[in-house]
Structure 1
Amino acid sequence: MPDAVASLRALAELPGVPDRIAAAREACERLRWHEALRRRIPEASAESRVRGAQASAALEGATVPLDLVRDVMRGAAQWPLEPDPVERVARGVVQATAESEHVRSLVATAPLQALARLHVAAASGLVDDSRLGRPRVEGETCDELVDLGPAPSAAALRARLDGLVELLAAGSRGAQVPALVVAAVVHAEVATARPFVRGNAVVARAMERAVVQALGLDPTGVAVIEAGHAAQGGPAYLGALAAYGTGTREGVALWLEHCAAAVVAGAEQGEQVCDAVRAGRLT
Protein backbone atom coordinates (compact mmCIF):
# COMPACT_ATOMS: atom_id res chain seq x y z
CA MET A 1 0.00 0.00 0.00
CA PRO A 2 2.79 2.55 0.64
CA ASP A 3 3.80 2.21 -3.04
CA ALA A 4 0.21 2.85 -4.14
CA VAL A 5 -0.02 5.92 -1.93
CA ALA A 6 3.25 7.27 -3.29
CA SER A 7 2.10 6.65 -6.86
CA LEU A 8 -1.18 8.47 -6.32
CA ARG A 9 0.56 11.40 -4.69
CA ALA A 10 2.97 11.57 -7.62
CA LEU A 11 0.03 11.73 -10.03
CA ALA A 12 -1.46 14.57 -8.02
CA GLU A 13 1.76 16.55 -8.58
CA LEU A 14 1.94 16.16 -12.35
CA PRO A 15 2.31 19.51 -14.18
CA GLY A 16 -0.98 21.39 -14.33
CA VAL A 17 -2.83 18.93 -12.10
CA PRO A 18 -2.55 20.56 -8.62
CA ASP A 19 -4.39 23.70 -9.75
CA ARG A 20 -7.14 21.59 -11.33
CA ILE A 21 -7.51 19.53 -8.15
CA ALA A 22 -7.81 22.73 -6.11
CA ALA A 23 -10.46 24.13 -8.47
CA ALA A 24 -12.50 20.93 -8.22
CA ARG A 25 -12.26 20.90 -4.43
CA GLU A 26 -13.33 24.55 -4.20
CA ALA A 27 -16.30 23.93 -6.54
CA CYS A 28 -17.47 21.04 -4.38
CA GLU A 29 -17.05 23.09 -1.21
CA ARG A 30 -19.25 25.85 -2.65
CA LEU A 31 -21.84 23.27 -3.54
CA ARG A 32 -21.72 21.73 -0.06
CA TRP A 33 -22.66 25.04 1.55
CA HIS A 34 -25.65 25.71 -0.69
CA GLU A 35 -28.67 26.73 1.38
CA ALA A 36 -30.83 23.95 -0.11
CA LEU A 37 -28.53 21.31 1.36
CA ARG A 38 -29.26 22.31 4.93
CA ARG A 39 -32.42 20.22 4.96
CA ARG A 40 -33.03 18.79 1.49
CA ILE A 41 -29.97 16.69 0.64
CA PRO A 42 -31.99 13.55 -0.29
CA GLU A 43 -34.09 15.47 -2.79
CA ALA A 44 -31.09 17.19 -4.34
CA SER A 45 -28.98 14.02 -4.53
CA ALA A 46 -31.87 12.13 -6.12
CA GLU A 47 -32.17 14.79 -8.82
CA SER A 48 -28.39 14.64 -9.33
CA ARG A 49 -28.66 10.92 -10.05
CA VAL A 50 -31.46 11.63 -12.53
CA ARG A 51 -29.34 14.13 -14.44
CA GLY A 52 -26.24 12.02 -14.09
CA ALA A 53 -28.03 8.99 -15.53
CA GLN A 54 -29.29 10.97 -18.51
CA ALA A 55 -25.78 12.31 -19.21
CA SER A 56 -24.15 8.91 -18.80
CA ALA A 57 -26.69 7.38 -21.17
CA ALA A 58 -25.96 10.10 -23.72
CA LEU A 59 -22.27 9.17 -23.61
CA GLU A 60 -23.40 5.64 -24.54
CA GLY A 61 -25.32 7.03 -27.51
CA ALA A 62 -28.68 6.57 -25.77
CA THR A 63 -30.47 9.92 -25.65
CA VAL A 64 -33.62 9.88 -23.52
CA PRO A 65 -35.80 12.72 -22.13
CA LEU A 66 -34.91 13.95 -18.66
CA ASP A 67 -38.53 13.77 -17.54
CA LEU A 68 -38.67 10.08 -18.47
CA VAL A 69 -35.51 9.31 -16.50
CA ARG A 70 -36.88 11.22 -13.52
CA ASP A 71 -40.22 9.44 -13.62
CA VAL A 72 -38.58 6.01 -13.93
CA MET A 73 -36.19 6.68 -11.06
CA ARG A 74 -38.98 7.85 -8.76
CA GLY A 75 -41.26 4.97 -9.70
CA ALA A 76 -43.84 7.00 -11.60
CA ALA A 77 -43.12 5.31 -14.94
CA GLN A 78 -41.66 2.08 -16.27
CA TRP A 79 -39.65 1.09 -19.30
CA PRO A 80 -41.62 -0.66 -22.06
CA LEU A 81 -41.98 -4.42 -21.68
CA GLU A 82 -40.08 -4.77 -24.95
CA PRO A 83 -37.65 -1.83 -24.93
CA ASP A 84 -35.81 -0.88 -28.09
CA PRO A 85 -31.97 -0.94 -28.13
CA VAL A 86 -31.68 2.67 -26.94
CA GLU A 87 -34.12 2.07 -24.09
CA ARG A 88 -32.28 -1.10 -23.03
CA VAL A 89 -29.00 0.78 -22.76
CA ALA A 90 -30.63 3.72 -20.98
CA ARG A 91 -32.35 1.35 -18.55
CA GLY A 92 -28.99 -0.15 -17.58
CA VAL A 93 -27.43 3.26 -17.10
CA VAL A 94 -30.31 4.42 -14.92
CA GLN A 95 -30.09 1.26 -12.81
CA ALA A 96 -26.31 1.57 -12.39
CA THR A 97 -26.51 5.24 -11.45
CA ALA A 98 -29.18 4.46 -8.86
CA GLU A 99 -27.07 1.58 -7.51
CA SER A 100 -24.10 3.91 -7.02
CA GLU A 101 -25.89 5.31 -3.99
CA HIS A 102 -25.96 1.85 -2.38
CA VAL A 103 -22.37 0.77 -3.10
CA ARG A 104 -20.56 3.87 -1.90
CA SER A 105 -19.97 2.19 1.48
CA LEU A 106 -18.25 -0.69 -0.32
CA VAL A 107 -15.83 1.08 -2.66
CA ALA A 108 -12.96 1.25 -0.17
CA THR A 109 -13.57 -2.01 1.71
CA ALA A 110 -15.02 -4.32 -0.96
CA PRO A 111 -14.46 -2.67 -4.36
CA LEU A 112 -14.88 -5.84 -6.39
CA GLN A 113 -18.28 -6.37 -4.78
CA ALA A 114 -19.17 -2.79 -5.66
CA LEU A 115 -18.12 -3.37 -9.27
CA ALA A 116 -20.13 -6.58 -9.42
CA ARG A 117 -23.29 -4.91 -8.15
CA LEU A 118 -22.91 -2.01 -10.55
CA HIS A 119 -22.41 -4.40 -13.45
CA VAL A 120 -25.50 -6.43 -12.58
CA ALA A 121 -27.45 -3.17 -12.62
CA ALA A 122 -25.88 -1.88 -15.84
CA ALA A 123 -25.92 -5.04 -17.95
CA SER A 124 -29.08 -6.89 -16.92
CA GLY A 125 -30.94 -7.71 -20.10
CA LEU A 126 -27.88 -6.89 -22.23
CA VAL A 127 -25.76 -9.98 -21.55
CA ASP A 128 -26.45 -13.55 -20.47
CA ASP A 129 -27.16 -13.88 -16.77
CA SER A 130 -24.09 -16.10 -16.44
CA ARG A 131 -21.90 -13.12 -17.36
CA LEU A 132 -23.45 -10.63 -14.95
CA GLY A 133 -21.36 -9.31 -12.08
CA ARG A 134 -18.17 -11.23 -12.83
CA PRO A 135 -14.96 -10.37 -14.68
CA ARG A 136 -14.24 -11.82 -18.10
CA VAL A 137 -12.67 -15.28 -18.13
CA GLU A 138 -10.31 -16.86 -20.63
CA GLY A 139 -11.90 -16.91 -24.06
CA GLU A 140 -14.21 -13.95 -23.38
CA THR A 141 -13.47 -10.68 -25.10
CA CYS A 142 -14.89 -7.17 -24.99
CA ASP A 143 -15.72 -5.18 -28.11
CA GLU A 144 -16.40 -1.91 -26.28
CA LEU A 145 -14.22 1.22 -26.33
CA VAL A 146 -12.24 0.03 -29.34
CA ASP A 147 -10.60 3.45 -29.61
CA LEU A 148 -8.64 2.53 -26.48
CA GLY A 149 -7.06 -0.47 -28.19
CA PRO A 150 -7.69 -4.16 -27.50
CA ALA A 151 -9.01 -5.12 -24.08
CA PRO A 152 -6.50 -6.86 -21.79
CA SER A 153 -6.58 -10.63 -21.64
CA ALA A 154 -8.33 -12.34 -18.77
CA ALA A 155 -4.96 -13.10 -17.15
CA ALA A 156 -3.83 -9.47 -17.39
CA LEU A 157 -7.23 -8.35 -16.18
CA ARG A 158 -6.81 -10.17 -12.87
CA ALA A 159 -3.66 -8.17 -12.15
CA ARG A 160 -5.41 -4.92 -13.06
CA LEU A 161 -8.27 -5.69 -10.68
CA ASP A 162 -5.82 -6.50 -7.89
CA GLY A 163 -4.26 -3.11 -8.52
CA LEU A 164 -7.68 -1.47 -8.37
CA VAL A 165 -8.32 -2.98 -4.94
CA GLU A 166 -4.96 -1.70 -3.72
CA LEU A 167 -5.63 1.70 -5.25
CA LEU A 168 -8.92 2.15 -3.42
CA ALA A 169 -7.44 0.95 -0.15
CA ALA A 170 -4.65 3.49 -0.56
CA GLY A 171 -7.15 6.22 -1.36
CA SER A 172 -8.93 6.04 1.97
CA ARG A 173 -9.17 9.29 3.91
CA GLY A 174 -6.24 8.46 6.14
CA ALA A 175 -3.86 8.18 3.18
CA GLN A 176 -4.03 11.93 2.42
CA VAL A 177 -4.42 11.38 -1.32
CA PRO A 178 -6.73 13.75 -3.25
CA ALA A 179 -10.09 12.07 -3.73
CA LEU A 180 -10.30 13.43 -7.25
CA VAL A 181 -7.14 11.55 -8.26
CA VAL A 182 -8.42 8.30 -6.77
CA ALA A 183 -11.83 8.63 -8.45
CA ALA A 184 -10.31 9.58 -11.80
CA VAL A 185 -7.87 6.68 -11.82
CA VAL A 186 -10.58 4.22 -10.74
CA HIS A 187 -12.79 5.48 -13.58
CA ALA A 188 -9.99 5.12 -16.13
CA GLU A 189 -8.84 1.72 -14.87
CA VAL A 190 -12.32 0.23 -15.18
CA ALA A 191 -12.84 1.77 -18.62
CA THR A 192 -9.46 0.76 -20.04
CA ALA A 193 -9.19 -2.68 -18.39
CA ARG A 194 -12.78 -3.48 -19.41
CA PRO A 195 -13.37 -6.23 -16.85
CA PHE A 196 -16.80 -7.11 -18.26
CA VAL A 197 -18.00 -8.22 -21.66
CA ARG A 198 -20.32 -5.20 -21.82
CA GLY A 199 -21.22 -2.12 -19.78
CA ASN A 200 -17.72 -1.09 -18.71
CA ALA A 201 -17.93 2.67 -19.28
CA VAL A 202 -21.32 2.81 -17.56
CA VAL A 203 -19.87 0.97 -14.55
CA ALA A 204 -16.79 3.22 -14.59
CA ARG A 205 -18.86 6.40 -14.37
CA ALA A 206 -21.13 4.99 -11.67
CA MET A 207 -18.06 3.87 -9.72
CA GLU A 208 -16.56 7.35 -10.01
CA ARG A 209 -19.74 8.86 -8.57
CA ALA A 210 -19.62 6.43 -5.64
CA VAL A 211 -15.90 7.05 -4.96
CA VAL A 212 -16.29 10.83 -5.05
CA GLN A 213 -18.97 10.51 -2.39
CA ALA A 214 -17.22 7.88 -0.29
CA LEU A 215 -13.93 9.78 -0.13
CA GLY A 216 -15.59 13.04 0.82
CA LEU A 217 -15.03 15.24 -2.23
CA ASP A 218 -18.79 15.44 -2.77
CA PRO A 219 -20.26 13.73 0.30
CA THR A 220 -23.82 14.81 -0.47
CA GLY A 221 -23.77 13.23 -3.94
CA VAL A 222 -25.25 16.33 -5.57
CA ALA A 223 -22.51 17.09 -8.11
CA VAL A 224 -23.52 15.79 -11.55
CA ILE A 225 -20.09 14.59 -12.63
CA GLU A 226 -21.43 12.51 -15.53
CA ALA A 227 -22.83 15.72 -17.02
CA GLY A 228 -19.39 17.27 -16.61
CA HIS A 229 -17.92 14.51 -18.75
CA ALA A 230 -20.71 14.76 -21.31
CA ALA A 231 -20.41 18.55 -21.54
CA GLN A 232 -16.87 18.16 -22.86
CA GLY A 233 -18.15 15.91 -25.63
CA GLY A 234 -17.91 12.21 -26.35
CA PRO A 235 -14.75 12.54 -28.49
CA ALA A 236 -12.97 14.50 -25.76
CA TYR A 237 -14.01 11.90 -23.18
CA LEU A 238 -12.71 9.01 -25.27
CA GLY A 239 -9.60 10.96 -26.23
CA ALA A 240 -8.76 11.64 -22.59
CA LEU A 241 -9.26 7.96 -21.73
CA ALA A 242 -7.02 6.98 -24.64
CA ALA A 243 -4.39 9.42 -23.37
CA TYR A 244 -4.53 7.75 -19.96
CA GLY A 245 -4.15 4.39 -21.65
CA THR A 246 -0.77 5.41 -23.08
CA GLY A 247 0.62 5.37 -19.55
CA THR A 248 2.70 8.49 -20.18
CA ARG A 249 2.90 11.35 -17.66
CA GLU A 250 1.34 13.68 -20.21
CA GLY A 251 -1.47 11.27 -21.01
CA VAL A 252 -2.36 10.62 -17.39
CA ALA A 253 -2.22 14.36 -16.64
CA LEU A 254 -4.60 15.03 -19.52
CA TRP A 255 -7.10 12.53 -18.10
CA LEU A 256 -6.82 13.97 -14.58
CA GLU A 257 -7.40 17.47 -15.95
CA HIS A 258 -10.42 16.22 -17.89
CA CYS A 259 -11.87 14.67 -14.71
CA ALA A 260 -11.19 17.81 -12.69
CA ALA A 261 -13.05 19.86 -15.29
CA ALA A 262 -15.92 17.35 -15.12
CA VAL A 263 -16.11 17.75 -11.34
CA VAL A 264 -16.13 21.56 -11.60
CA ALA A 265 -18.88 21.50 -14.22
CA GLY A 266 -20.72 18.80 -12.27
CA ALA A 267 -20.62 20.87 -9.09
CA GLU A 268 -21.96 23.87 -10.98
CA GLN A 269 -24.84 21.78 -12.26
CA GLY A 270 -25.30 20.55 -8.71
CA GLU A 271 -25.82 24.17 -7.68
CA GLN A 272 -28.49 24.45 -10.36
CA VAL A 273 -30.14 21.35 -8.91
CA CYS A 274 -30.08 22.97 -5.47
CA ASP A 275 -31.59 26.17 -6.86
CA ALA A 276 -34.39 24.15 -8.45
CA VAL A 277 -35.00 22.21 -5.23
CA ARG A 278 -35.15 25.38 -3.16
CA ALA A 279 -37.51 27.03 -5.64
CA GLY A 280 -39.74 23.95 -5.94
CA ARG A 281 -39.22 23.72 -9.70
CA LEU A 282 -38.69 19.96 -9.88
CA THR A 283 -41.65 17.94 -11.12
Structure 2
Amino acid sequence: MLAPLAALTTIADLPEVVAANDRAREACTRLRWHQALRRRIPEGAAESRIRGAWASAELDGARSDLDVVRDLMRGARDRSTAPDPAEQVIHGAMAATAATESLGAQLRQAPRQAIARLHLAAAAELVPEEELGRPRPSGRDCTEFAILGPAAPSAAAAARLDALDPILAEPDLPALVVAGIAHAEIAHARPFTRGNGIVARAVERTVIKTAGLDPTGVAVPEVGHHRRGAAAYHGALAAYGQGTRAGIVVWLEHCADALVAAADEGHAIADAVLAGRLR
Protein backbone atom coordinates (compact mmCIF):
# COMPACT_ATOMS: atom_id res chain seq x y z
CA MET A 1 0.00 0.00 0.00
CA LEU A 2 1.18 3.54 -0.72
CA ALA A 3 3.24 5.02 2.10
CA PRO A 4 1.95 8.28 3.63
CA LEU A 5 3.42 11.51 2.28
CA ALA A 6 5.45 12.07 5.45
CA ALA A 7 6.97 8.61 5.13
CA LEU A 8 7.87 9.24 1.50
CA THR A 9 9.57 12.48 2.52
CA THR A 10 11.65 10.50 4.99
CA ILE A 11 12.49 7.92 2.32
CA ALA A 12 13.48 10.67 -0.11
CA ASP A 13 16.02 11.89 2.46
CA LEU A 14 17.72 8.51 2.87
CA PRO A 15 21.37 8.65 1.72
CA GLU A 16 20.90 5.91 -0.88
CA VAL A 17 17.85 7.63 -2.36
CA VAL A 18 19.60 11.01 -2.38
CA ALA A 19 22.54 9.38 -4.19
CA ALA A 20 20.17 7.71 -6.68
CA ASN A 21 18.41 11.00 -7.35
CA ASP A 22 21.76 12.78 -7.80
CA ARG A 23 23.07 10.34 -10.40
CA ALA A 24 19.80 10.45 -12.33
CA ARG A 25 19.82 14.25 -12.27
CA GLU A 26 23.47 14.44 -13.33
CA ALA A 27 22.81 12.14 -16.29
CA CYS A 28 19.83 14.25 -17.40
CA THR A 29 21.78 17.48 -16.94
CA ARG A 30 24.54 16.19 -19.22
CA LEU A 31 21.88 15.36 -21.80
CA ARG A 32 20.30 18.80 -21.52
CA TRP A 33 23.52 20.49 -22.61
CA HIS A 34 24.02 18.36 -25.70
CA GLN A 35 24.81 20.61 -28.66
CA ALA A 36 21.92 19.26 -30.73
CA LEU A 37 19.37 20.27 -28.08
CA ARG A 38 20.15 23.97 -28.21
CA ARG A 39 17.66 24.47 -31.03
CA ARG A 40 16.28 21.05 -31.98
CA ILE A 41 14.64 19.71 -28.84
CA PRO A 42 11.28 18.97 -30.56
CA GLU A 43 12.98 16.69 -33.07
CA GLY A 44 14.78 14.78 -30.32
CA ALA A 45 11.69 14.62 -28.11
CA ALA A 46 9.61 13.19 -30.95
CA GLU A 47 12.16 10.41 -31.47
CA SER A 48 12.21 9.79 -27.71
CA ARG A 49 8.45 9.19 -27.74
CA ILE A 50 8.86 6.76 -30.65
CA ARG A 51 11.52 4.75 -28.83
CA GLY A 52 9.56 5.00 -25.60
CA ALA A 53 6.42 3.59 -27.19
CA TRP A 54 8.40 0.72 -28.71
CA ALA A 55 10.05 -0.16 -25.37
CA SER A 56 6.82 0.17 -23.38
CA ALA A 57 5.04 -2.26 -25.69
CA GLU A 58 7.98 -4.66 -25.48
CA LEU A 59 7.82 -4.59 -21.67
CA ASP A 60 4.19 -5.70 -22.02
CA GLY A 61 5.33 -8.61 -24.18
CA ALA A 62 4.39 -7.10 -27.55
CA ARG A 63 7.49 -7.66 -29.68
CA SER A 64 7.99 -5.24 -32.53
CA ASP A 65 10.53 -3.54 -34.74
CA LEU A 66 11.56 0.01 -33.84
CA ASP A 67 11.55 1.11 -37.48
CA VAL A 68 7.99 -0.13 -37.88
CA VAL A 69 6.87 1.78 -34.77
CA ARG A 70 8.64 4.88 -36.08
CA ASP A 71 6.85 4.65 -39.43
CA LEU A 72 3.49 4.12 -37.72
CA MET A 73 3.91 7.11 -35.39
CA ARG A 74 5.07 9.33 -38.25
CA GLY A 75 2.21 8.24 -40.49
CA ALA A 76 4.54 6.64 -43.04
CA ARG A 77 2.88 3.24 -42.63
CA ASP A 78 -0.80 2.35 -42.49
CA ARG A 79 -2.08 0.51 -39.46
CA SER A 80 -3.58 -2.93 -39.89
CA THR A 81 -7.35 -2.87 -40.19
CA ALA A 82 -7.49 -6.09 -38.17
CA PRO A 83 -4.65 -5.79 -35.62
CA ASP A 84 -3.59 -8.87 -33.71
CA PRO A 85 -3.26 -8.71 -29.88
CA ALA A 86 0.38 -7.60 -30.02
CA GLU A 87 -0.45 -4.85 -32.50
CA GLN A 88 -3.25 -3.64 -30.24
CA VAL A 89 -0.78 -3.24 -27.38
CA ILE A 90 1.70 -1.46 -29.66
CA HIS A 91 -1.00 0.94 -30.87
CA GLY A 92 -1.92 1.67 -27.26
CA ALA A 93 1.70 2.32 -26.30
CA MET A 94 2.10 4.68 -29.23
CA ALA A 95 -1.05 6.63 -28.39
CA ALA A 96 -0.34 6.90 -24.67
CA THR A 97 3.29 7.88 -25.13
CA ALA A 98 2.29 10.53 -27.68
CA ALA A 99 -0.32 11.85 -25.23
CA THR A 100 2.34 12.56 -22.59
CA GLU A 101 3.47 15.56 -24.61
CA SER A 102 0.46 17.61 -23.50
CA LEU A 103 -0.34 16.23 -20.04
CA GLY A 104 2.24 17.89 -17.80
CA ALA A 105 0.16 20.51 -16.01
CA GLN A 106 -2.94 18.34 -15.83
CA LEU A 107 -1.08 15.49 -14.16
CA ARG A 108 -0.16 17.80 -11.29
CA GLN A 109 -3.43 19.74 -11.08
CA ALA A 110 -5.96 17.01 -11.89
CA PRO A 111 -4.10 13.68 -11.67
CA ARG A 112 -7.11 11.40 -12.03
CA GLN A 113 -8.23 13.16 -15.21
CA ALA A 114 -4.75 12.94 -16.69
CA ILE A 115 -4.44 9.24 -15.85
CA ALA A 116 -7.88 8.63 -17.33
CA ARG A 117 -6.76 10.33 -20.55
CA LEU A 118 -3.71 8.11 -20.69
CA HIS A 119 -5.88 5.05 -20.25
CA LEU A 120 -8.21 6.22 -23.00
CA ALA A 121 -5.19 6.23 -25.29
CA ALA A 122 -3.52 3.07 -23.99
CA ALA A 123 -6.55 0.79 -23.94
CA ALA A 124 -8.67 2.03 -26.85
CA GLU A 125 -8.22 -1.32 -28.60
CA LEU A 126 -7.97 -3.45 -25.45
CA VAL A 127 -11.16 -2.96 -23.41
CA PRO A 128 -14.83 -2.20 -24.05
CA GLU A 129 -15.64 1.49 -24.51
CA GLU A 130 -17.45 1.71 -21.18
CA GLU A 131 -14.24 0.75 -19.35
CA LEU A 132 -11.99 3.35 -20.99
CA GLY A 133 -10.61 5.83 -18.47
CA ARG A 134 -12.51 4.15 -15.64
CA PRO A 135 -11.22 1.93 -12.83
CA ARG A 136 -12.03 -1.75 -13.01
CA PRO A 137 -15.71 -2.49 -12.37
CA SER A 138 -16.57 -4.39 -9.22
CA GLY A 139 -15.78 -8.05 -9.63
CA ARG A 140 -13.54 -7.58 -12.67
CA ASP A 141 -10.04 -8.99 -12.34
CA CYS A 142 -6.80 -7.96 -14.07
CA THR A 143 -4.28 -10.52 -15.29
CA GLU A 144 -1.51 -8.02 -16.08
CA PHE A 145 1.67 -8.10 -13.96
CA ALA A 146 0.69 -11.60 -12.78
CA ILE A 147 4.31 -12.09 -11.73
CA LEU A 148 3.65 -9.59 -8.92
CA GLY A 149 0.79 -11.67 -7.54
CA PRO A 150 -2.97 -11.22 -7.71
CA ALA A 151 -4.31 -7.76 -8.47
CA ALA A 152 -6.03 -5.91 -5.66
CA PRO A 153 -9.85 -6.02 -5.60
CA SER A 154 -11.33 -3.28 -7.76
CA ALA A 155 -12.35 -1.02 -4.85
CA ALA A 156 -8.90 -1.26 -3.24
CA ALA A 157 -7.21 -0.63 -6.58
CA ALA A 158 -9.30 2.51 -7.14
CA ALA A 159 -8.45 3.70 -3.63
CA ARG A 160 -4.74 3.32 -4.32
CA LEU A 161 -5.16 5.36 -7.48
CA ASP A 162 -6.92 8.09 -5.48
CA ALA A 163 -4.09 8.07 -2.94
CA LEU A 164 -1.64 9.07 -5.68
CA ASP A 165 -3.23 12.51 -6.09
CA PRO A 166 -1.33 14.30 -3.27
CA ILE A 167 1.93 12.58 -4.28
CA LEU A 168 1.68 13.73 -7.90
CA ALA A 169 0.84 17.26 -6.73
CA GLU A 170 3.61 17.48 -4.11
CA PRO A 171 6.26 19.99 -5.28
CA ASP A 172 8.79 19.21 -2.56
CA LEU A 173 9.35 15.53 -3.33
CA PRO A 174 12.17 14.75 -5.80
CA ALA A 175 10.88 14.01 -9.29
CA LEU A 176 12.55 10.60 -9.22
CA VAL A 177 10.57 9.65 -6.12
CA VAL A 178 7.24 10.94 -7.48
CA ALA A 179 7.74 9.25 -10.85
CA GLY A 180 8.91 5.98 -9.33
CA ILE A 181 6.16 5.77 -6.72
CA ALA A 182 3.44 6.56 -9.27
CA HIS A 183 4.80 3.93 -11.66
CA ALA A 184 4.98 1.23 -8.98
CA GLU A 185 1.58 2.02 -7.48
CA ILE A 186 -0.22 1.74 -10.81
CA ALA A 187 1.63 -1.48 -11.62
CA HIS A 188 0.71 -3.04 -8.27
CA ALA A 189 -2.81 -1.69 -7.91
CA ARG A 190 -3.74 -2.43 -11.53
CA PRO A 191 -6.75 -0.09 -11.36
CA PHE A 192 -7.74 -0.78 -14.98
CA THR A 193 -8.76 -4.02 -16.62
CA ARG A 194 -6.01 -3.67 -19.26
CA GLY A 195 -3.29 -1.15 -20.08
CA ASN A 196 -1.88 -0.58 -16.60
CA GLY A 197 1.78 -1.00 -17.55
CA ILE A 198 1.55 1.41 -20.47
CA VAL A 199 -0.21 3.96 -18.27
CA ALA A 200 2.32 3.54 -15.44
CA ARG A 201 5.27 4.13 -17.75
CA ALA A 202 3.55 7.08 -19.44
CA VAL A 203 2.95 8.69 -16.04
CA GLU A 204 6.62 8.20 -15.16
CA ARG A 205 7.68 9.82 -18.45
CA THR A 206 5.37 12.80 -17.83
CA VAL A 207 6.62 13.42 -14.28
CA ILE A 208 10.28 13.17 -15.30
CA LYS A 209 9.75 15.89 -17.89
CA THR A 210 7.34 18.27 -16.19
CA ALA A 211 9.00 18.14 -12.77
CA GLY A 212 12.23 19.30 -14.38
CA LEU A 213 14.36 16.17 -14.12
CA ASP A 214 14.53 15.98 -17.92
CA PRO A 215 12.79 19.11 -19.21
CA THR A 216 13.86 18.33 -22.78
CA GLY A 217 11.78 15.14 -22.92
CA VAL A 218 14.58 13.50 -24.91
CA ALA A 219 15.55 10.89 -22.30
CA VAL A 220 13.72 7.60 -22.83
CA PRO A 221 12.72 6.11 -19.44
CA GLU A 222 10.91 3.18 -21.05
CA VAL A 223 14.12 2.17 -22.82
CA GLY A 224 15.94 2.53 -19.50
CA HIS A 225 13.70 -0.13 -17.96
CA HIS A 226 13.82 -2.26 -21.11
CA ARG A 227 17.63 -2.21 -21.25
CA ARG A 228 17.88 -3.62 -17.75
CA GLY A 229 15.63 -6.49 -18.75
CA ALA A 230 12.16 -7.66 -17.79
CA ALA A 231 13.51 -9.79 -14.92
CA ALA A 232 15.21 -6.78 -13.27
CA TYR A 233 12.15 -4.60 -13.90
CA HIS A 234 9.70 -7.06 -12.37
CA GLY A 235 12.12 -7.96 -9.58
CA ALA A 236 12.43 -4.33 -8.50
CA LEU A 237 8.65 -3.91 -8.68
CA ALA A 238 8.25 -7.03 -6.54
CA ALA A 239 10.63 -5.55 -3.97
CA TYR A 240 8.46 -2.42 -3.84
CA GLY A 241 5.41 -4.61 -3.29
CA GLN A 242 6.86 -5.96 -0.05
CA GLY A 243 5.83 -2.66 1.50
CA THR A 244 9.10 -2.20 3.38
CA ARG A 245 11.40 0.79 3.33
CA ALA A 246 14.18 -1.40 1.93
CA GLY A 247 11.91 -2.62 -0.87
CA ILE A 248 10.93 0.91 -1.84
CA VAL A 249 14.61 1.91 -1.92
CA VAL A 250 15.40 -1.05 -4.22
CA TRP A 251 12.73 0.13 -6.65
CA LEU A 252 13.82 3.78 -6.55
CA GLU A 253 17.45 2.79 -7.14
CA HIS A 254 16.28 0.72 -10.10
CA CYS A 255 14.39 3.76 -11.44
CA ALA A 256 17.51 5.92 -11.06
CA ASP A 257 19.65 3.40 -12.94
CA ALA A 258 16.95 3.16 -15.62
CA LEU A 259 16.95 6.93 -15.94
CA VAL A 260 20.73 7.01 -16.36
CA ALA A 261 20.25 4.52 -19.21
CA ALA A 262 17.37 6.66 -20.47
CA ALA A 263 19.66 9.68 -20.65
CA ASP A 264 22.25 7.59 -22.50
CA GLU A 265 19.57 6.72 -25.05
CA GLY A 266 18.74 10.41 -25.22
CA HIS A 267 22.38 11.13 -26.05
CA ALA A 268 22.18 8.63 -28.90
CA ILE A 269 19.07 10.42 -30.16
CA ALA A 270 20.76 13.83 -29.87
CA ASP A 271 23.81 12.53 -31.74
CA ALA A 272 21.52 11.30 -34.53
CA VAL A 273 19.75 14.68 -34.63
CA LEU A 274 23.08 16.47 -34.89
CA ALA A 275 24.23 14.15 -37.69
CA GLY A 276 20.95 14.50 -39.55
CA ARG A 277 20.18 10.80 -39.34
CA LEU A 278 16.58 11.27 -38.14
CA ARG A 279 15.36 13.26 -41.10
How many Å separate the matches in 2 of 1:14 and 1:247?
16
Alignment pair present for 1:257 and 2:253: yes
Match for residue 185 of structure 2?
A: 189
The offset of 1:155, in angstroms, is 2.2
Cα-to-partner distance string for 1:162-206 (whole Å, 9 max, x where unaligned) = 210011122x2xx2x211011000100111111100010110001
- Is the 1:179–1:217 contact (alpha carbons within 8 Å) kept by the matching residues of 2? yes
Q: Is the 8 A contact 1:8 1:182 kept in 2?
A: no
Question: TM-score, with normalisation over the residues of structure 2?
Answer: 0.96
2:210 to 200, 208, 214: 214
Return the offset for 1:257. Answer: 0.5
Unaligned runs of 5+ in 1: none
> In the TM superposition, what is the alpha-carbon distance from 1:16 to its structure 2 partner?
2.2
Matched-pair contact (CA < 8 Å) for 1:4–1:166: no
Greater shift after overlay, 65-74 or 179-188? Answer: 65-74
Stretch moving more, 187-196 or 149-158? 149-158
Corresponding residue to 1:279 among 267, 275, 278: 275
Structure 2 residues not aligned, in runs of 5+: none
CA distance, structure 1, for counterparts of residue 226 and residue 157 of structure 2: 27
- Measured after TM superposition, the shift of residue 105 of structure 1 is 2.0
Q: Is the 8 A contact 1:14 1:249 kept in 2?
A: no
Residue 9 of structure 1 deviates from its aligned partner by: 2.1
Q: Does 1:111 align with 2:107?
A: no
**Distance apart, 1:136 and its partner CA:** 1.2
Instruction: List, as ranges, runs of 4+ consecutive aligned residues in structure 1 with deviation greater than 3 Å.
Output: none
With normalisation by structure 1, the TM-score equals: 0.94
Deviations 1:40-72 (A, max 9, x none): 010000000111111111111112111111111
Partner of 2:220: 224
Give the alignment of 1:25-104 within 5 angstroms: 25-104=25-104
Q: Distance in 2 between matches of 1:115 and 1:227?
A: 21
CA shift at 1:5, angstroms? 4.6
Query: CA–CA distance in 1 between the matches of 2:122 and 2:51?
Result: 16
Aligned residue runs from structure 1 range 157-172, under 5 A: 157-170=157-170, 172=171
1:235 is aligned, of 225, 231, 252, to: 231
| Structure 2 match to 1:131 | 131
In the alignment, is the contact (CA less than 8 A) between 1:36 and 1:275 conserved in 2? yes
Structural RMSD (CA)? 1.3
2:194 corresponds in structure 1 to 198
Identical counterparts, % of pairs: 57
Cα deviation per residue 1:204-252 (whole Å; 9 max; x = unaligned)?
Answer: 0011001111111011110011000001100111111111011111111
What is the deviation of 1:15? 5.1
